[in-house]
Amino acid sequence: MTDLRVAVLGVGVMGADHVARITSRISGARVSVVNDYVHEKAEQIASQIDGCRAIADPLDAIADPGVDAVLLATPGSTHEKQLLACLEQGKPVMCEKPLTTDVSTSLEIVRREAQLDHPLIQVGFMRRFDEEYMRLKALLDGGELGRPLVMHCVHRNADVPSYFDSSLIVKDSLVHEVDVTRFLFDEEIASVQIVKPFSNPGAPEGVIDPQIAILRTVSGKHVDVELFVTTGVAYEVRTEVVGEKGSAMIGLDMGLIRKSAPGTWGGQITPGFRERFGRAYDTEIQRWVDAVRTGGTTGTYTDGPTAWDGYAAAAVCAAGVESLDTGLPVDVQLADRP
Ligand code: ISE
């Protein structure tokens, strides 16, 4: 079987990481086209990869006959147009979150995809491919904890880019806990409330940080999330599920623990999400490539979170942004699934 020819759109930090992983860590695929709004950056990357071209217009890159599938790592505001182009061209697409930047366009994407013979969109919620999350999911599905009742999540970043504002903490960071909740509990989220504790004086002017998110699922499970994105420390993502018959926790970051004179004890904390979830990204992209390559015979071109998952996460985050203003719980309104 020939290698899948992938166009990577957007070669900022995430896109460049994906180019590197497809080129040197993933089997069965190669990067045939790159695109970026800074064309010189795309040209520079293309020049380092055999048989790769830089194409200046993202829609031309999607339509190019030398492209079998598309990986979108472009800014969220451009996703709607690019996803629609992929659907029109019948090209499978892996889309980094967000699916689109608002709920109505996300729903439109879901509806347009539903008109096709088979789904083509996979959304990049990479935590579903992380070994610890997969083990936790297997534990829950196996019933060993009994019925899950409560989940506590911690989501801390050392810092965030300068353009981050309070609502991005919901849409860019909380969105992962939203997806984890839907993934682990296999049900939708009914309401969300954002509580604002005393703000970190070290946070940029006007940014509400930390925030506490309280999610309630349709069946009444409680999830609380501490979001704190300017700790100045490192990356900490922990998840603890409490069930009828016990609890389980992941994300303890217990790499090497060193004990040394004079009487010290300690180790290192993972610096950021690219390190923490590096292997999960590799697994995610490998499984996507495998699904697309065999799609002609299996009829399935995705292996992971769907456009619906992207839409549902967007709907929860929109309710979260509303709650950020009012401080009150906001119900999540989901359309019927097509
Ligand atoms: C970032 O955009 C990500 O997607 C990370 O996974 C998340 O942990 C971080 O908070 C976001 O800013």
Predicted local distance difference test score (pLDDT) of residue 338: 95
The alpha-carbon radius of gyration of the chain (Å, integer) is: 20
How far apart (Å, rounded) are the C-alpha atoms in residues 211 and 74? Answer: 27
Q: In the structure, which protein residues have their CB atom closer than 6 angstroms to any atom of ligand 1?
A: 157, 160, 172-173, 176, 229, 273
**Looking at this protein, which amino acid is placed at residue 152?**
H
Are the beta carbons of 236 and 253 closer than 8 angstroms? yes
**Candidate from 173, 226, 284 with most ligand 1 atoms within 8 A of CB, to mutate:** 173
Specify the pTM.
0.97
Please give the Cα distance from 245 to 89 (Å, whole number).
Answer: 50
**Secondary structure letter of residue 129 according to DSSP:** G
Domain ranges (residues) in the chain: 4-127+276-313, 128-272+314-331
Task: Out of 97, 163, 230, 273, give the residue to mutate to test ligand 1, the one with the largest number of ligand atoms within 8 Å of its CB.
Answer: 273
Nearest CA to ligand 1 atom 9: 173
CATH architecture of 128-272+314-331: 2-Layer Sandwich (3.30)
| Distance of CA 175 from the midpoint of ligand 1 (Å) | 9
Measure 288 CA to ligand 1 centroid, in angstroms. Answer: 21
Output the CA 251–ligand 1 centroid distance in Å.
Answer: 15
| Angstrom distances, CA of residue 87 to CA of 59, 105, 243, 252, 257 | 12, 14, 41, 40, 49
* CA gap 93, 306 in Å, rounded: 11
Please name the residue ranges forming H helices in 54-149.
Answer: 58-63, 79-89, 103-114, 131-141
Which CATH architecture fits 4-127+276-313?
3-Layer(aba) Sandwich (3.40)
Distance 127 CA to ligand 1 centre (A): 11
Q: Report how far Cα 3 is from the mean position of its chain's Cα atoms.
A: 25
CB 235 within 8 A of CB 269: yes
Distance 229 CA to ligand 1 centre (A): 9
How remote is the CA of residue 173 from the centroid of ligand 1, in Å? 5
**What is the rounded (10 degree) CA torsion for 194, 196, 199, 204?**
40
Please give the distance, rounded to the nearest whole angstrom, from the Cα atom of residue 299 to the centre of ligand 1: 32
Residue type, 227: L
Length in residues, the chain: 338
Sign of the CA dihedral with 65 first, then 67, 70, and 72 last: negative
Minimal-distance CA residue to ligand 1 atom 7: 173
Q: Given this model, what pLDDT does residue 268 score?
A: 92
Per residue in 49-74, pLDDT tens?
999 999 999 999 999 999 999 999 99
Nearest residue CA, atom 2 of ligand 1?
172
Q: pLDDT per position in the chain (338 positions), as tens?
A: 899 999 999 999 999 999 999 999 999 999 999 999 999 999 999 999 999 999 999 999 999 999 999 999 999 999 999 999 999 999 999 999 999 999 999 999 999 999 999 999 999 999 999 999 999 999 999 999 999 999 999 999 999 999 999 999 999 999 999 999 999 999 999 999 999 999 999 999 999 999 999 999 999 999 999 999 999 999 999 999 999 999 999 999 988 999 988 899 999 999 999 999 999 999 999 999 999 999 999 999 999 999 999 999 999 999 999 999 999 999 999 999 99
d(CA 270, CA 118): 39
HEC-encoded secondary structure of the chain: CCCEEEEEECCCHHHHHHHHHHHHCCCCEEEEEEECCCHHHHHHHHCCCCCCEECCCHHHHHHCCCCCEEEECCCHHHHHHHHHHHHHHCCCEEECCCCCCCHHHHHHHHHHHHCCCCCCEEECCHHHHCHHHHHHHHHHHCCCCCCEEEEEEEEECCCCCCCCCHHHHHHHHHHHHHHHHHHHHCCCEEEEEEECCCCCCCCCCCCCCCEEEEEEECCCCEEEEEEECCCCCCCEEEEEEEECCEEEEECCCCCCCEEECCCEEECCCCCCHHHHCHHHHHHHHHHHHHHHHHHHHHCCCCCCCCHHHHHHHHHHHHHHHHHHHHCCCEECCCCCCC
| Region of 146 on the Ramachandran plot (φ > 0 left; ψ -120 to 50 alpha; else beta) | left
Query: Which residue minimizes the CA distance to atom 11 of ligand 1?
Result: 173
Q: What residues contact residue 296 under an 8 Å CB cut-off, 6+ apart?
A: none
- The letter for the amino acid at 267 is G
